[in-house]
Chain A
Amino acid sequence: MKKQWNWKRNWPLHLMLLPAAIVLAVFQYAPLGGLVMAFQDFKPWLGIRGSPWVGWMHFRDLFTFQESVQVIWNTLIISSLKMVFHLIVPFVFALLLNEVRKLLFKRTVQTIVYLPHFLSWVILGGIFIDVLSMDGGIVNRALEAVGLQPIFFLGDGDWFRFTIVATDVWKDFGFATIIFLAALAGINPSLYEAALIDGANRWQQTLSITVPSLVPIAIVVGTLSLGSILNAGFDQIFNLYNPLVYGKGDIIDTYVYRTALLSGSFSLGTAVGLFKSVISFVLIVVAYRLAYVFAGYRIF
């Protein structure tokens, strides 16, 4: 019964999109011209128009630095792990929290788990160094209490990655939990009633109603976060890393930060940003197509 709408019905839609489009055109599209900086040796006093052209130099440098491969690899690993757990943990937690009957308890917990989001990594860095300390830190003391060896969380490459992912998930799982809870709130309760009448227990209800209702949103959140797969969390790593873990913990952004620091290069930063954008773009297009082809679902 779906027929093509005509212009008469559609023109308000175009109108609705106009204001946002104008804002985007001005503040997002117009500055895109500045991407040429990635191909220049940009000097602030010469401006964009006056800075000399260097072509692909920055990109070449980026890839020929000895550490480049390692750094990109680190970024991908850390980012992917974060993406996965940033989906799983809130998903499961939202489901669990949904089972809580007492509304006050539920709401309180909801508020509390969002709180770590508000502490900056400058502060959390200091806190975690203490908590994970080998000498008196709570976590290691607990490990010793059960007979395990203390772990140098922030000084051992592999453990460092684990710590980065774990602490980041701890800090921000509240964010996606809220999204999932909102989605759960939108599920039609009559579906549950019907299932109950059919004799399904809670677990079966969860599997057949709750989870499938959340999957679309999860796909959306997951796909959109693909857009930042090369980000991996500069703030966090900057506040927690040290020379012992450069090898496995250095990500593109921290590496560029230190390298560009001396040359004060906006150009290099722009080149890296452009590189990251292109990769993200490709990934999102691919994910969009996959979602459509395999799940029949349009993400946007």
Chain B
Amino acid sequence: MTYRSTAYRIFTYCNNTFIVLLALLCLLPLIHVLAVSFSGRAAADANLVTFWPIDFTLEGYRMTLGNGSFVGSILISIQRVVLGTGVSMALILLSAYALSKESAQFRGRNAWAWFFVFTMLFNGGLVPTYILVRNVGLMDSIWALVLPNAVNVFNMILMLNFFRTSVPKSLEEAAFMDGAGHFRTLLSIYLPISLPSLATISLFTIVFHWNSWFDGLIYLMDKERYPLSTLLQTIVVQLDFSAITSAEDLMALSNRTVKSAQIFIATIPIVLVYPFLQRYFVKGIVVGSVKE
């Protein structure tokens, strides 16, 4: 078997080493942030911490988790992610399916496609969008965070390409012969086969909603309604030294320990979700029902 050849084994060895190094490179900054989050104030602020805490303390986490708004905002973020991803995925699935059909068979398909793509490129900008959201009555509501970006055309195009390449035409024709309509085909055939792409797009959408902070800032009226990412913005902000006129302000603002704890806590949920979704990146879905 080719997998046992010496050449391949050398390759595997080098490959694995290289991958481990690269992974380490990606991990180190996070380890640094983790170390700072457990370090004493003086050392953290003077940037003396590298990968191991100095003056170990749980102060950062205590202050973060003890902060009522912080915990509350995590719940709001979760709510946003669930709603946002649910709505987005539904819309994207439907659109990608329809647009994956050939234009020879689906009249008007190209027009629809350009309708979608155009929005990816041209945008009215912050002010008109804000005015619109206001006029539609979505101010101060979680829907202002969910709806405006519900149709991410980039993701939809990815999904549509996955559909085209993973689902054999013959399978679809067979289903049609059996009397299945489009909705049925989408649910029973396309969905199971495209699990990897579904998982991928879901992941991107979840990450987007989790990290998106600016819309929360402009559409929500007060701090109590903020999702986590927006709340973090009010804390992890670039220090504008010209505005600081007292030691107290500087002291409260530049608390690296607390900031690092907050960053770390904000990253954990995603880190947990990801491996869960990974299960669906399974290789080789059996597509044996049709002869190629």
Contact = CB atoms under 8 A, between A and B. Distances in A.
Asked if chains A and B are in direct contact (CB within 8 A), the reply is: yes
Contact of A31 (B26, B33, B129): B129
A175 B155 CA distance: 12
A290 to B, nearest CB: 16
Contact of A16 (B94, B125, B200): B94
Contacts of B30: 115-116, 119
Given A35-B125, A118-B270, A24 B151 contact: yes
A33 interface: yes
Contact of A23 (B26, B129, B151): B151
Interface string A8-39: 01101110110111011011111111110100
Contact of B47 (A9, A32, A108, A130): A130
Contacts of B127: 34, 37, 42, 48, 266, 270
B124 A122 contact: no
B6 interface: no
Contact of B124 (A33, A93, A170, A174): A33
A189 B236 contact: no
Nearest to B115: A21
Given A118-B267, A201-B2, A220-B158, A111 B281 contact: no
B78 interface: no
Given A23-B91, A34-B131, A170-B26, A123 B122 contact: no
A177 B152 CA distance: 19
A83 to B, nearest CB: 14
A209 interface: no
Nearest to A129: B47
A129 to B, nearest CB: 10
Interface string B1-14: 01101001001100
A88 interface: no
Contacts of B65: none
Given A20-B94, A178-B200, A127 B5 contact: no
A227 B121 contact: yes
Given A20-B92, A23-B151, A185-B283, A123 B33 contact: yes
Contacts of A300: 99, 113, 116-117, 157, 160-161
Interface in A100-137: 100-101, 105, 107-120, 122-124, 127, 130
A62 to B, nearest CB: 16
Contacts of B147: 23, 27
A127 B101 CA distance: 48
B182 A12 contact: yes
Contacts of A35: 122, 124-125, 128
A280 B136 CA distance: 30
Contact of A115 (B238, B271, B292): B271
Interface in B122-143: 122-129, 131-133, 136
Contact of A28 (B15, B91, B119, B271): B119
B207 A186 contact: no
B125 A127 contact: no
Contacts of B161: 216-217, 220, 299-300
Interface stretch (B53-61, B67-75, B104-112): B104-112
A34 B196 contact: no
B261 interface: no
A2 interface: yes
Of listed B30, B32, B283, B292, residue having the most chain A CB within 10 A? B283
Of listed A27, A99, A217, residue having the most chain B CB within 10 A? A27
Contacts, number: 257
Interface string A265-298: 0100110010001001100100000000000000
A69 interface: no
B3 A202 contact: yes
B122 A100 contact: no
B238 A107 contact: no
Interface stretch (B16-24, B216-224, B242-250): B16-24
Contact of B26 (A116, A122, A280): A116
Contact of A2 (B3, B102, B283, B292): B102
A196 interface: yes
A124 B283 CA distance: 34
A145 to B, nearest CB: 17
B188 interface: no
Contacts of B200: 178-179, 182
Interface of A: 2-5, 9-10, 12-14, 16-17, 19-21, 23-24, 26-35, 37, 42, 48, 93, 96-97, 99-101, 105, 107-120, 122-124, 127, 130, 170, 174-175, 178-179, 181-190, 196, 201-202, 213, 216-217, 220-221, 224, 227, 239, 266, 269-270, 273, 277, 280-281, 284, 299-300
Given A99-B12, A112-B23, A270-B125, 12 more contacts: A23-B91, A30-B128, A31-B132, A100-B15, A127-B32, A130-B47, A181-B281, A183-B165, A188-B287, A213-B165, A220-B158, A224-B154
26 contacts: A2-B105, A13-B98, A17-B99, A19-B90, A19-B94, A21-B115, A23-B150, A24-B151, A48-B127, A100-B15, A112-B23, A113-B22, A118-B207, A118-B267, A119-B30, A174-B26, A185-B282, A186-B165, A186-B197, A202-B3, A224-B154, A227-B120, A266-B125, A269-B125, A269-B126, A270-B127
The 7 closest A-B CB pairs, nearest first, are A34-B128, A31-B124, A31-B128, A28-B119, A189-B284, A16-B94, A182-B196
